[in-house]
Amino acid sequence: MDSELVVMSRREIERAHVMRAIQERRLTQKQAASQLVLSVRQVERLFARYKRDGPTGLVSRRRGQRNHILPDGLREEALCIVRTRYPDFGPTLAHEKLLEVHGLRMSVETLRKWMIEDGIWKTRAQRRKRIQQPRHRRDCYGELVQIDGSDHHWFEDRGPRSVLLVYVDDATSEFDGAKDVRIRVRLQLLPCDPFVPSASR
């Protein structure tokens, strides 16, 4: 008698044990459904296949099959078109153009994978990795003065709400002074401001 080798996944082996327990009346189908995290109707279908074909009836019927086999050369053709005609398009829009204009058919996710592998498209995580170049300090005192403002009721009820401006030299990080400015004129920073240092220092 010829014997046939059957490859089963761990989940399928577990289901076979449970089906056997149902057959031996050690488990009800409701208990089996709870144990396998399935509906009772799914367990009924599995048990019917188990009774008809034995443990092999629980093996996935799609195992060994290749679904959605794409034509040879489709990847290269699609990427060539995207690189030359749609370099700024994301995978979804590029997929629409490939289908509507060029008659090339594949899933959006397949095209996304191809574009990422080819370097045409970056994932969201890759786009977040942009490194900001540090800004170097100026060489001379007075070349750049940084001004920072803090809007607050500095004088409580004794005066109007105002903005405290702080002046810091970029080259030396020296504190060059502070100034209280009322809100209505806080944007009027004139070149003659007494706290803006002279470049001749």
Please write the tens of the pLDDT for every residue from 32-61. Answer: 999 888 889 989 999 998 999 888 888 876
pLDDT score of 200 more than 80? no
Distances (CA, A) of 5 to 17, 56, 87: 18, 10, 50
pLDDT of res. 81: 92
Give the residue from 54, 115, 50 showing the smallest Cα distance to 89: 115
25 and 54 in a single domain? The answer is yes
User: Is the overall model pTM greater than 0.75, yes or no?
Assistant: no
Average pLDDT value for residue range 180-196: 51
Question: Number of structural domains, the chain?
Answer: 3
pLDDT score of 185 more than 70? no
Strand order in the sheet with 145-152: 145-152, 162-169, 175-182
Give the span between the Cα atoms of 37 and 16, in whole angstroms: 15
98 and 158 in a single domain? The answer is no
Give the residue from 145, 165, 143 showing the smallest Cα distance to 154: 165
**Parent domain of 96:** 74-127
Within a domain: residue 201? Answer: yes
Within a domain: residue 1? Answer: no
189 and 144 in a single domain? The answer is yes
Give the span between the Cα atoms of 157 and 137, in whole angstroms: 40
Within a domain: residue 30? Answer: yes
